């Protein structure tokens, strides 16, 4: 890809980007992840470092080494499987249970990376501290470039789920799904674009296959 990995691009060129462009980056990633979810794939390693930026600043999800195809939206990893705690949902670091919902959690962290222009999440804490604090309800702060509305979208990715005694999923609060996230981000993009033709293009794009973003 012409502009390399998203994380490096944010750190080197992020200050040149407008907030709307940052939101469009999030849209590209969400679009790709919604497509993966519709095909019953769990990425399991979504982060800015695993996305690529092309010459048109379109962002594509990459690094599918940990991706799994699942029939029931649940994958339980084997003991000793490595994962990065700071992008992981509580059900991952407590139970090693991955799903499209744990991918959504990681997408919220990626949004935070985008709007901080590539900062390290939980930069003051090590992995064990992150596990403890997140389990107690701590969440990443609202970045300076993020409006309350965008932060709410981000925060909705970080609601917890838990496992009952019979290992069935139970919801404490509804963690967003990619379909609803895609619409929420799209609405904000359309509201910020003054050109009707571009608005229609963006609206039309949500109706098409997202495979081009993977």
Give 141's strand partners: none
Which of these is catalytic: 45, 72, 103, 127? 45
28 is annotated as an active-site residue: no
> Which sequence positions are flagged as catalytic?
45
């Amino acid at each position: 890809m012409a502009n390399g990995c998203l994380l490096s691009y944010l750190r080197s060129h992020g200050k040149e980007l407008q907030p709307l462009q940052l939101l469009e980056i999030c849209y590209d990633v969400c679009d790709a992840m919604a497509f993966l979810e519709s095909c019953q794939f769990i990425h399991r390693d979504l982060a800015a470092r695993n996305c690529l930026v092309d010459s048109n600043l379109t962002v594509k999800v990459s690094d599918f080494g940990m991706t799994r195809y699942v029939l029931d939206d649940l994958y339980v990893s084997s003991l000793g499987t490595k994962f990065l705690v700071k992008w992981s949902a509580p059900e991952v670091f407590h139970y090693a249970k991955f799903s499209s919902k744990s991918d959504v959690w990681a997408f919220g962290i990626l949004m935070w990376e985008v709007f901080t222009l590539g900062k390290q999440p939980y930069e003051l804490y090590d992995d064990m501290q992150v596990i403890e604090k997140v389990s107690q309800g701590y969440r990443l702060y609202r970045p300076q470039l993020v409006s309350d509305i965008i932060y709410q979208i981000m925060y909705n990715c970080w609601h917890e789920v838990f496992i009952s005694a019979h290992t069935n999923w139970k919801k404490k609060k509804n963690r967003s799904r990619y379909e609803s996230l895609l619409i929420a981000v799209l609405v904000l993009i359309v509201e910020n674009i003054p050109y009707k033709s571009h608005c229609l293009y963006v609206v039309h794009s949500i109706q098409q296959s997202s495979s081009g973003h993977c």
